[in-house]
Structure 1
Amino acid sequence: MVREILNTKNQVLRNISKPVVRVDKKIKGLISDLKETLLVQKDPEGVGLAAPQIGKNVRVFVMKPESAVRVIINPEVVKTGSRSKKEEKSPKGRKIMEGCLSLPNYYGPIKRKEKIILRYLNESGTPKTETFLGIEAQIIQHEIDHLNGTLFVDRLLEQKKPLYEYVNGEWEEVELV
């Protein structure tokens, strides 16, 4: 079922999410709702959605950097870093303006790690450890922030970076207080 995405003023987005104990019918329903909700977003289109954004404080998110939606449960960052020489041959993440479906049409140039090694459960509850690079690493860090009650505007403030609103095809810097 498509759910309403909470805006940044909602306190649920500031809570630390609880780990999933087991991948049961309830969690599978939540995953289905997250997927459906992410896939219908068009203006702006989203690349990730965390459970707190639809009002559920559990450690689950979905991401769609390409065509397939990935499910991440109980993510734990094992290691972060820069790309190795070998990994540099893979497509390098372009510098992008990061945004959030909980604050649509606002973006900022957040600096994130280019590479993360992540331990997590997949949709069927199977433990996985995987390396993510570039845009995937950026999406994962953004979504884990949601699970920890942190918003992308908090990162902008930490990094002393500007916030922009995208209006009628134009970027306008806005005050971030």
Structure 2
Amino acid sequence: MILKFLDIKDPILRQKAKKVESIDKKILGLIADMKETLSEADDPEGIGLAAPQVGKSIQLFIVNFEKLNRVIINPKVLSMGEIKKTKKKEKTLEGCLSLPHYYGPIKRPNEVTIEYINENKETRQEKFKGFPAHIIQHEIDHLNGRLFIDHILEQNAPLYLFDGDDFEEVELT
């Protein structure tokens, strides 16, 4: 079943998500629905989806980016790399399905190591580098009630609206 994305103004997106106590049929059903929802997201296309974005304030997210396909439950950050200086042209624009068509260059550590449980109830420890590390950190932010625009404001970075053809810088109000 395709789930509805919460609007950025929804207070659920600002809550710290609760731990998943049991990976039962209900959670497995939510995971299946989230996978279907993410695969159908095409305006804009999505690469990660956290449970709070679809109204469930629990520590669960999925990632589907190239060869990186993960279900991540109750993640714990074990270590993070340093934020490396990047050239202006190398900055990665982050966006969010809860604020479609808005993007901004966010500085994040270029690697992160986390421990998590997968949908098969297996505890994993994994290091992510480069863009996958950015995705993981973005989704963990959702579980902590943070949005990418918080980083835009903290880093005094520009915010862009993509209209299908061009990026236009906009003011955050």
Common topology (TM > 0.5): yes
Match of 2:129 in 1: 133
Please give the secondary structure, in 2, of the residue aligned with 1:75.
strand
- For 1:137 and 1:54, locate their aligned partners in 2 and report how far apart those are by CA, in whole Å: 22
Amino acid at match of 1:140: I
Letter of the 2:41 partner, please give it: Q
Matched, 1:100 2:101: no
DSSP 3-state at the match of 2:125: strand
1:42 match: 42
> What runs of 5+ residues in structure 1 fail to find an aligned partner?
84-93
Runs of 4 or more above 3 Å deviation: none
Partner of 1:2: 2
C-alpha displacement of 1:116: 0.6
Which residue identity is paired with 1:168?
A: G
Q: Can you list the C-alpha shifts for 1:44-90, whole angstroms capped at 9, x where unaligned?
A: 1001000000000000000012156310000111000149xxxxxxx
CA distance in 2, matches of 1:67, 1:128: 17
C-alpha distance in 2 between matches for 1:130 and 1:150: 22
Indicate conservation of the 8 Å contact 1:35/1:69, yes or no: no
Is 2:68–2:132's contact at 8 Å kept on the other side of the alignment? no
Give the drift of 1:168. Answer: 3.4
Match of 1:111 in 2: 107
Distance 2:108 2:30 in 1: 28
Q: Is the 8 A contact 1:22 1:125 kept in 2?
A: no
Report the aligned-residue RMSD: 1.3
Residue of structure 2 in register with 1:88 after alignment: none
How many residue pairs match? The answer is: 167
Q: What is the rounded CA distance, in whole Å, between the counterparts of 1:45 and 1:35 in structure 2?
A: 13
Query: In 2, are the aligned partners of 1:165 and 1:174 still within 8 Å (CA)?
Result: yes
Percent sequence identity over aligned pairs = 53
- Specify the SS of the correspondent of 1:120: strand
Matched AA of 1:21: E
Tell me which of 134, 140, 159 is aligned to 1:144: 140
What is the aligned partner in structure 2 of residue 86 from structure 1? none
Aligned partner of 1:132: which letter? Answer: F
Distance in 2 (alpha carbons) for counterparts of 1:51 and 1:109:
24
Which deviates further from its counterpart, 111-120 or 63-72? 63-72
Of 152, 168, 173, the residue aligned with 2:169 is 173
Once the two structures are superposed, residues 96-117 of structure 1 have per-residue CA deviations (whole angstroms, 9 ceiling, x without a partner) of: 2100000000000001111111
3-state SS of the aligned residue for 1:128?
Answer: strand
**For 1:119-167, what per-residue CA distance to the aligned partner results, in whole angstroms no more than 9, with x for missing partners?**
0001111100011111111001000110011111011001110100001
**Matching residue's letter, 2:60:** V
Amino acid at match of 2:21: V
One-letter identity of the residue aligned with 2:112: I
